[in-house]
Amino acid sequence: MGDTPVITLNNGVTIPQIGFGVFQIPEAQTAAAVTTALEAGYRSIDTAAIYHNESGVGEALKSAGVPRDDLFITTKVWNTDQGYDETLRAFDASTARLGVDRLDLYLIHWPTPKRGKYLDTWRALEKLLADGRVRAIGVSNFLPEHLRAVADLGGTVPAVNQIEVHPALQQRDAQAANAELGVITEAWSPLAQAGVLGDPAVLAIATDHDRTPAQVVLRWHVQQGRIVIPKSVTPSRIAENLRIFDFELSADELAAIDALESDGRTGPHPDHFN
């Protein structure tokens, strides 16, 4: 998996600590962006059925010529496909669009508690895992009560909970619940969609280290053990975001970024999103 550090999931599978996110990249631009990311050295790609760009990811994977075993591909089952049979069908459709016969990580995109289907959906993910169609299964946007309900089934504990985490929204309770259950926290919108990059505290730390604000924020994440999946369509930023494993923030610098918590959620609240 190249020079990127890996994190070992609760079933022994390893995942690169940084991946390339493709949310909001239009289908027509996705293959080029993913190709740039693979050339820069990313080996983990995070997409979702609802991003409508899995085919573009697949196109880039096919032309890149990187051995399949060196890649880590994540996609997610969308809310309207929740349910046991529906999820199995959604998995087949996603893998077909991606052009792969197995996935590395499949996630339930949102708990959508009002639909009341995430436990049945989880059982379908367990079936895909048992059948060898996916190497690890997990969830996204699960609050501690949703995660505990899955763990209480007594089967597979999710390997990952992909949640919104950045300096302005740190979700410490959710991170603690993940850690307690042995679930790795993967931070989505790790840069708060660039919203925290102009913060004076981040800028000062970046100047002191001769780094960019994005590198400082990503370093703050990885130094605390989280997986990050920043998105960019800009080649220089795609490369820049990967160069975060050759410097270190001090305890005081980590604390200065921790202090930026402001309940700054950019996405919907998991209890209300359907």
Ligand X SMILES: NC(=O)c1ccc[n+]([C@@H]2O[C@H](COP(=O)([O-])OP(=O)(O)OC[C@H]3O[C@@H](n4cnc5c(N)ncnc54)[C@H](OP(=O)(O)O)[C@@H]3O)[C@@H](O)[C@H]2O)c1
Point out the residues that are catalytic. 51
Counting contacts by CB under 6 A, is residue 229 touching ligand X? yes
From the list 128, 67, 68, the residue with the least C-alpha distance to 92 is: 128
Counting contacts by CB under 6 A, is residue 181 touching ligand X? no
Q: Which amino acid is at 176?
A: A
CB atoms within 10 A of CB 273: 15
Q: Which among 20-28, 82-90, 126-134, 250-258 is the span making contact with ligand X, rule CB under 6 A?
A: 20-28
Cβ distance to ligand X smaller for residue 85 or 166: 166
| 254: Cα separation from own chain's centroid | 22
Tell me the CB-side half-sphere exposure of residue 12, using CA atoms within 13 A: 0
Cβ distance to ligand X smaller for residue 130 or 266: 266
Cβ distance to ligand X smaller for residue 30 or 132: 30
Cβ distance to ligand X smaller for residue 135 or 231: 231
Q: Which residues pair with 187 in a beta bridge?
A: 163, 228
- In whole angstroms, give the CA distance from residue 109 to residue 141: 7
What region does 78 belong to: left with phi over 0, alpha with psi -120 to 50, or beta? beta
- In whole angstroms, give the CA distance from residue 156 to residue 130: 10
Counting contacts by CB under 6 A, is residue 188 touching ligand X? yes
* Strand pairing report for 6-8 and 14-16: antiparallel
109 annotated as belonging to a binding site for a ligand = yes
Counting contacts by CB under 6 A, is residue 142 touching ligand X? no
Residue from 30, 53, 121, 212 touching ligand X (CB under 6 A): that is 212
Counting contacts by CB under 6 A, is residue 189 touching ligand X? yes
CB atoms within 10 A of CB 96: 13
Q: Which among 124-132, 142-150, 227-235, 248-256 is the span making contact with ligand X, rule CB under 6 A?
A: 227-235
Counting contacts by CB under 6 A, is residue 140 touching ligand X? yes
Considering CB under 6 A, how many residues would be counted as binding ligand X?
29
Cβ contacts of residue 46 below 8 Å, gap of 6+? 19, 20, 21, 22, 74, 162, 229
Q: Give the tokens for residue 90.
A: 């959604």
Counting contacts by CB under 6 A, is residue 178 touching ligand X? no
Q: How far is the CB of 185 from ligand X (least distance, A)?
A: 12
Counting contacts by CB under 6 A, is residue 1 touching ligand X? no
Please give the helix or strand (H or E) that residue 186 lies within, else none: strand 184-188
- In whole angstroms, give the CA distance from residue 187 to residue 253: 19
Counting contacts by CB under 6 A, is residue 46 touching ligand X? yes
Q: How far is the CB of 260 from ligand X (least distance, A)?
A: 14
Counting contacts by CB under 6 A, is residue 167 touching ligand X? no
From the list 170, 185, 158, the residue with the least C-alpha distance to 262 is: 170
Cβ distance to ligand X smaller for residue 112 or 141: 141
Q: How far is the CB of 29 from ligand X (least distance, A)?
A: 10
CB atoms within 10 A of CB 65: 7
Q: How far is the CB of 189 from ligand X (least distance, A)?
A: 4
Per the annotation, where are the binding residues for substrate?
109
Which residues contact ligand X (rule: CB under 6 A)? 21-24, 46, 109, 140-141, 162, 188-194, 197, 212, 214, 229-234, 237, 240-241, 267
